[in-house]
Chains A and B, each alone.
Chain A
Amino acid sequence: MAKSPVQFRLNGSDRATFVDPGDNLLTTLRRGLNEFGPKYGCGQGACGVCTVLIDGEPHLSCLTLAVACEGRHVETVSGMADGPNLHPLQTAFMDNFAAQCGFCTPGMLMAARALLERNPNPTREDVIEAIAGNICRCTGYEPIIAAILAAAGNRSQRQA
């Protein structure tokens, strides 16, 4: 089967590649575009480690057909920092020891980012709900919840 071209914005830059028709976005990012931010966990939608933002909303890249991303904006953890300046969520994850092995972290950060863009002042329940599709085997979730709440607090303090 012939490969198909696909073009989309990736973290603000136009990118193009060729994919097999049934390729998912995760494979396309990792194998075709050397974008290793999103991880491959289950390939079934169950772990959330492949979460990316598509046009600002969280999607599971393992369950997204690559050709369906034509013309859309895909954002991964690699695009979160502004040059050497980490995103407040990234800083909060470090400060709150919210990563151990770090495997879930790219997906957690993307889920958290989607939440804070929609709701800058989330409650603890909002945070739990936002990361409900993301599995972490190491931290027990509490440091992650604390980090996201801390990042939200810092953001609202900066805006005040």
Chain B
Amino acid sequence: MALDVRVATSMAEAAGILAADQRTRLLSGGTLVMRDVNEGRFLDGTLLRLTDPAYRQINASGARVELGAGATMAMVLANRDLAFLHPVARAVGGPAIRQMATIGGNLFAETPYGDFAVALLALDAQVMVQSGYGSARAIAIEEFLNARERGGAGLVTAVQFAKPQNAADFRFRKISRVKPKGISVMSIAAHLPNSGSRITQARVAYGAMAPTPVRARGVERALEGKPLDAASVQAAKAAALEGTRPATDAIATEWYRREVMPVHLGRLLAGEGR
């Protein structure tokens, strides 16, 4: 047996091929799949290329944003309507990786990767998944990430979310040891819409603090209905570790991640530098 390459020209065709054959993997940007090919971890199966232009389409001019799963980090950076997401896209690898890495691939990237997925979690995104030849259905990103390890999700065609009404309501920070490029010690995204200077519908998400990006529910509760002041930031820091399960890996120990998360969360919420 050997590796085979197939090309699908439509998303329905790609979804059909993925559903019919468990040994087929979609090659989106290829930054992770090709590593497996080069290192002999994926020797026997089919690499599926998808050439449908809709897969790479970005629609960001209105209140609701749709990013095709095949859109790259570089495409996000080139789009002015997505300025609030530029710090997130810029945090992914170096320029060549950003030219190749896609949003769809980032949803499947294992910890400590997945920085863009962390931002999408804080934006309450819907993941459009097409299984087989039917039409795509929307799955809440948290549910999608929880189910990810079970595999067989089908084809992710796009992600959708409401654009933050105020760009300053969205914050993102990636903490890494090597600047400007380096793998995440952790990443934090927060969407803190406010009405009458009180936060409503707070969403805070972490990367590299659990096997997949996770919501920081304790922090969200601490901020909900409060003004973003010293007291609420303090309460958020106290609740920072609720629900986290960080790992020890080559980048940082579990202990270190727990120690520094409240500090970085506090700085992000207080709008301080690093």
Residues of A near any B CB (own CB < 8 A): 1, 4, 20-22, 24, 43-45, 48, 51, 57-60, 62-65, 67-68, 111, 114-115, 128-134
Question: Once the chains bind, are A64 and B34 in contact (CB under 8 Å)?
Answer: yes
Whether, in the assembled complex, B87 has its beta carbon less than 8 Å from a beta carbon of chain A, the answer is no
* List of B residues within 8 angstroms of A4 by Cβ: 5
Instruction: Kindly supply a per-residue 1/0 record for chain B positions 176-189, scoring 1 wherever the CB is within 8 Å of any chain A CB and 0 otherwise.
Output: 00001100000000
Give the segment of B9-17, B93-101, B145-153, B220-228 that binds chain A. Answer: B93-101
Question: Once the chains bind, are B47 and A45 in contact (CB under 8 Å)?
Answer: no
Question: Once the chains bind, are B34 and A24 in contact (CB under 8 Å)?
Answer: yes
Shortest Cβ distance from A5 into chain B, in angstroms? Answer: 13
Question: Once the chains bind, are B2 and A133 in contact (CB under 8 Å)?
Answer: no
Chain A interface mostly: mixed
* B34 contact from A1, A63, A114, A130, Cβ within 8 A: A63
The answer to whether A22 and B5 touch (CB under 8 A), given A63-B30, A132-B181, is yes
* B96 contact from A20, A22, A43, A60, Cβ within 8 A: A60
Shortest Cβ distance from A138 into chain B, in angstroms? Answer: 18
Whether, in the assembled complex, B169 has its beta carbon less than 8 Å from a beta carbon of chain A, the answer is no
| Minimum CB distance partner of B181 in chain A | A132
In the complex, which of the residues A22, A67, A129 has the most CB atoms of chain B within 10 Å of its own CB atom? A22
Question: Once the chains bind, are B31 and A45 in contact (CB under 8 Å)?
Answer: yes
Question: Once the chains bind, are B47 and A21 in contact (CB under 8 Å)?
Answer: yes
Whether, in the assembled complex, B199 has its beta carbon less than 8 Å from a beta carbon of chain A, the answer is no
* List of B residues within 8 angstroms of A51 by Cβ: 96
* List of B residues within 8 angstroms of A111 by Cβ: 94-96
The answer to whether A132 and B27 touch (CB under 8 A), given A1-B4, A43-B39, A45-B35, is no
* A133 contact from B34, B35, B39, B93, Cβ within 8 A: B93
User: What is the bound-complex CA distance between A115 and B94, given in angstroms?
Assistant: 12
16 additional A-B pairs beyond A22-B2, A57-B74, beta carbons within 8 Å, are: A4-B5, A20-B3, A22-B3, A22-B37, A24-B34, A45-B35, A58-B95, A59-B96, A63-B31, A64-B34, A111-B94, A111-B95, A111-B96, A128-B180, A132-B95, A133-B94
| Minimum CB distance partner of A133 in chain B | B94
* List of A residues within 8 angstroms of B3 by Cβ: 1, 20-22
The answer to whether A21 and B27 touch (CB under 8 A), given A111-B96, A133-B181, is no
Give the contact-size bracket for chain B: 20 to 34
User: What is the bound-complex CA distance between A60 and B34, given in angstroms?
Assistant: 11
User: What is the bound-complex CA distance between A67 and B181, given in angstroms?
Assistant: 29
Question: Once the chains bind, are B35 and A43 in contact (CB under 8 Å)?
Answer: yes
In the complex, which of the residues B5, B31, B95, B100 has the most CB atoms of chain A within 10 Å of its own CB atom? B95
In the complex, which of the residues B34, B35, B49 has the most CB atoms of chain A within 10 Å of its own CB atom? B34
| Minimum CB distance partner of A118 in chain B | B95
| Minimum CB distance partner of B180 in chain A | A132
* A62 contact from B34, B94, B180, B181, Cβ within 8 A: B34
Closest 3 A/B residue pairs (Cβ)? A133-B94, A22-B3, A132-B181
Whether, in the assembled complex, B165 has its beta carbon less than 8 Å from a beta carbon of chain A, the answer is no
| Minimum CB distance partner of B95 in chain A | A58
A–B complex contacts, Cβ < 8 Å, 11 sampled? A20-B3, A22-B2, A44-B38, A64-B100, A65-B5, A67-B49, A111-B94, A130-B95, A133-B93, A133-B95, A133-B181
